[in-house]
Amino acid sequence: MRKRGSNGPDTLRSLHSAAIQLLAERSYQGMNLRLLASKLGLHAGSLYNYIESKQQLLFWLMKDTTEKLLHGFEQTIAEIRDPSEQMRKFVAYHVAHHIANRKESSVLMTEMHYLTPRNYRAVKQLQRQYTDEVQAIVERGVAVGEFTITDARIATFVLLQMLTSVAQWYSPRGRLTVDELVGVYSDLAFAMLGAKGADAVAQRTNGKLSDQFGATTNGDLGSHVLQISVAPHPKGKRNTNGGARPENHRPARSTSTPA
């Protein structure tokens, strides 16, 4: 991304954050590199030390997002062999990551369709890899009798849509903490998968997720593996976890990954 002779990672992090903010406020069509340069306090020409075009910027954000989500997931379950424990760790990781990076998650969901066909295919390939790895956990659980579902692919799609949607409605002012929401989602996930036995029931976390993911993103972009549509709440209606929906919330465009 950065060209020879440009400054280091600090500027890239600032660029990343400013670009996400503009995309969230104006969408891909409404933002431009001049606005981005102004937000960063740079001359417009200085941006070309980092990016060649608005399309390259969007692709970088989308690709970086998905790669970070994928690598974080792989590290989370790398030392675990039991499918139920892998699933529990996955649910906690995916939900907490999307809560911590909810603005970035929403941007990916709403703006990805602006990628060129080639760039879109590259990002979708990474998303499919993530989906396939989650499906592999489901299939291993079925194989050893821990889960009881008949279609692992559909179950994986439903699971991912359910977990990812938290970025659309979560509010830090709500009545449930991140750890409590992870517990709720874990229970729902294991119930949906038909988990058998007491050992397969999702366990509550120990209050460490907030410390692990934090309230700031540090440039990490939470990706929607599946792009979903969540209808906006009526004006002033409270979110499920107790927070109010912002009045200027822009709903996601609806696209789906084929089964």
Q: What is the pLDDT of residues 103-114, one digit of tens each?
A: 888 888 889 999
Under DSSP, the state recorded for 8 is -
d(CA 221, CA 212): 15
Predicted pLDDT of residue 168: 87
Per CATH, the number for 1-52 is: 1.10.10.60
99-120: b (≥16 Cβ within 10 Å) or e: bbbbbbbbbbbbbbebbeeebe
CB 106 within 8 A of CB 168: yes
Classified as helix, coil or strand, 26 is helix
Q: Is 219 left (phi over 0), alpha (psi -120 to 50) or beta?
A: left
Note whether 228 and 164 are within 8 A (CB): yes
Using only C-alpha atoms, what is the Rg of the chain?
A: 19
pLDDT tens-digit readout, 215-235: 333 322 233 333 333 333 444
User: Quick one: fold of 55-259?
Assistant: Tetracycline Repressor; domain 2 (1.10.357)
CA-CA distance, 88 to 203, in Å (whole number)?
A: 7
228 touches 256 (CB < 8 A): yes
- C-alpha–C-alpha distance, residues 60 and 115, integer Å: 10
- pLDDT reported for residue 104: 87
Q: What is the structure's pLDDT at 140? A: 97
In whole angstroms, what is the distance from residue 162 CA to residue 219 CA?
25
pTM score over 0.75: no
Going from N- to C-terminal start, the domains of the chain cover 1-52, 55-259
Backbone CA torsion sign across 90, 14, 104, 233: positive
Phi and psi for 244 in degrees, rounded to 5?
Answer: -85, 140
Give the model's pLDDT for residue 184: 95
Give per-10-residue mean pLDDT for the chain (259 aa). Answer: 54 87 91 88 81 92 92 96 96 95 87 95 96 97 95 96 92 91 95 73 46 38 34 44 46 40
Determine the pLDDT at residue 197. Answer: 57
